[in-house]
Structures are given as structure tokens and as C-alpha cells.
Amino acid sequence: MNYIVLDLEWNQPLSKEAPSYQKYGNYLTSEIIQFGAIKLDGSKKIIDSFRSVVAPKCYRKLHHHVKRLTSLTQRDVDAGLPFPVVVKRFRKWCGPEESYALLTWGYDDIPALGSNLVFYQQDISWLNPWYNLQVIFNDQEGQDANQKGLSSVIEYYHLQQNSQFHDALNDARYTAMIAARLDVEKGIQKYPSLVNPLILGVKGVAPPLETVRAQEIPNKKAIFMMPEFSEFHCPVCGGKISQNIQWVRQNGDKHLHLASCPQDGAFLLRLRILKGSGETFMAMRTAEKADEEIAAAYRVREAKELERAELLKLKKNAKTEEKQEIPS
């Protein structure tokens, strides 16, 4: 079994008001501009590498932050290859799907690659399974569950930093150096017990059964009142199974809801709210099949959010009572 250590860099729209974002932002928010990968054999020795720059189609002008971070230039990306061409070459370089395991540093790369593949109507089944080495590192080195920066772990192992970070191939090589110090095979076997199945990507990348989008929404409160996001019909049989949805906050502007169809089983809904043009917002809701593991994790998250809401309510009531007791 080989290991493919993959790292990606991507571009972003210049602003929420940019015409390109208004055209594509509801479908693609991060456009991949660089692939870097290292192929390791079963003993975790480097046997090959892959690097390619991708010419962006949606967000063609390189964002100043991306330019500074990656050291890529506008000329570099303009001379890049089309995304479908790079993906085809990369998959050929990886070899037969059953011959390797896909490794990344962090949860971001594979979901980003998945969204780019979906945008180009490309197959995404080959992305499964994949493994976040941060999780394996935290477990085997007795670290807490917080995500660790690549550079901090390179320092942790006292490894040489001869190459610039945020170059896809360099970061893939650094990640491979970390992999060489871990029991990756053992980590992969233990992996399902180490991750939260509600986090996008840890169960694998699969196209949602349904995606609903809306834009030019005046405020966030209005999103939760819209039928698109307050009601849900089973994507299999079409029956109405949820109304007046009470969303559970996952983090930030990401929310979850577990719906159940008597005929077709449980579905996990994900709602993501994005800044639109001007003062407006965009929202995207997806639906995916939910197994018992996902359902159980959702119930834990729901209980924590209910507890958090109750604590906030108690604090608010306490402050109100304090104000009422202060003599005028």
C-alpha cells in the first residue's frame, strides 16, 4: 500500500461585491490553483512527487493575500493548466485507487477538492477514503484535539525547514516528513474512533443528495424563515418530513438538522450562510444520508447547544435582575 500525501493551494474572489463572486460564489468559493503531492511506499519512503499549477476559471485574478502567502504570481496561474487536465494527470500519477491511501494535513483540502470536482462535474468517488494526519499525530503524540499548524509540528519534531511553506509541493513534503514519524497504518485502523462524524469530510466526500441555494437575502434572520430552509421534503420519496426547522449551530454560520423519513430513513441537513453583495447574504442547504453514528453525534451536538442556550438565558436573566435591583 502506497500513501499519497496531498496539499492544495486555492484562490478566492477579490471581494464579495466582485462580479465573479456574484456569478460563481453560490457554487464555488475557493478555486484550486496548485496541486502538490508526495508518493510514499509502504515503509514511508518517498518514491515520487507531483506538482502542477492550475489556471483559474472563475476567480482569474490572484487575490493579494493568496499572492503573498503562496508566492505564486499572476503569470504563474495564467500559464497553468485547466483543472480537469490536472486532475486527470494527478489520478494517473496516483495509480489504481486500491493501491494507495490519501493523506492530508487538516480537514480543508479534500472538501475543497471535492467542491471543485463537483463544479466541473467530475467524479469524486476516488477521494474516499482519506485521512487527516493531524488527527493521527494528536493521538499518537498525546496531544489535545486542537488542530496543529504544519510549521509547529515540523518544529515539534526538530525537522529542517529548508523550503517555503504554502507551496503545495513543499507542504506535501513537510507532511510526508511527519508521516514518516507516525505509525500511519495503525492510525488509519483507529481513525474512525478518533474523529467526529459531523465534521465535513471525515466520513468521506460524497455528493449531497440535494442542494438548495438562495441569494440576495436581506438578513440572517430571514434565512431561517424561508421555506427553502425552514421546511424539508425527503429527496427520495418527496414526502414533507420537517417544518419549522430548529437548526443546531455547528460553528460560526454553519448549522445542522437531523430529519427522518418513515420510509427512507434519516438525513443530515447542513446550512451554510455566506456574505453576499452589499449588505445581503447567501445561503446553501445540503442533504445527505445519515447513519446511526452521524445521528448519535448530532444528538450530542444538539444537547450541547441546548445547554449553551440555557446558560445564556440564565446569564441574561441574572443581568436583568441586577439592573432592576439597582436603585434609581
Q: What are the residue ranges spanned by the domains of the chain?
A: 2-193, 210-313
Task: For residues 325 and 222, give the distance between their C-alpha atoms in angstroms, rounded to a whole number.
Answer: 36
Q: Where in the chain does DSSP place strands (E)?
A: 2-11, 31-40, 46-53, 100-104, 130-132, 210-217, 231-233, 240-243, 248-251, 254-261, 265-275, 281-289
Provide mean pLDDT across the span 141-159: 93
Task: Note the pTM of the prediction, 2 decimals.
Answer: 0.81
DSSP for 256-269 reads EEEEEETTTEEEEE
- Residue 326, pLDDT > 70, answer no
φ/ψ (deg, to 5) at 212: -120, 130
Task: For residues 305 and 311, give the distance between their C-alpha atoms in angstroms, rounded to a whole number.
Answer: 10
Give the pLDDT score at 128: 86
Give the pLDDT score at 200: 57
Give the pLDDT score at 275: 83
- Residue 202, pLDDT > 80, answer no
Provide mean pLDDT across the span 220-235: 95
Mean pLDDT of the chain: 91
pLDDT tens digits, 242-292: 999 999 998 889 999 999 999 999 999 999 998 887 888 989 999 999 989
**% of residues, the chain, pLDDT over 90:** 69
Bin 269: left if φ > 0, else alpha if -120 < ψ < 50, else beta.
beta
Give the single-character DSSP code of 178.
Answer: H
Domain 2-193 has CATH 3.30.420.10: yes
- Residue 204, pLDDT > 90, answer no
Helix, strand or coil for residue 166? coil
Tell me how far CA of residue 67 lies from CA of 8, 34, 73, 101, in angstroms.
Answer: 14, 12, 6, 31
Residues whose CB falls within 8 Å of the CB of residue 57, separated by 6 or more in sequence, listed in order? 31, 82, 83
Residue 93: which pLDDT band, with cuts at 50, 70 and 90?
A: very high
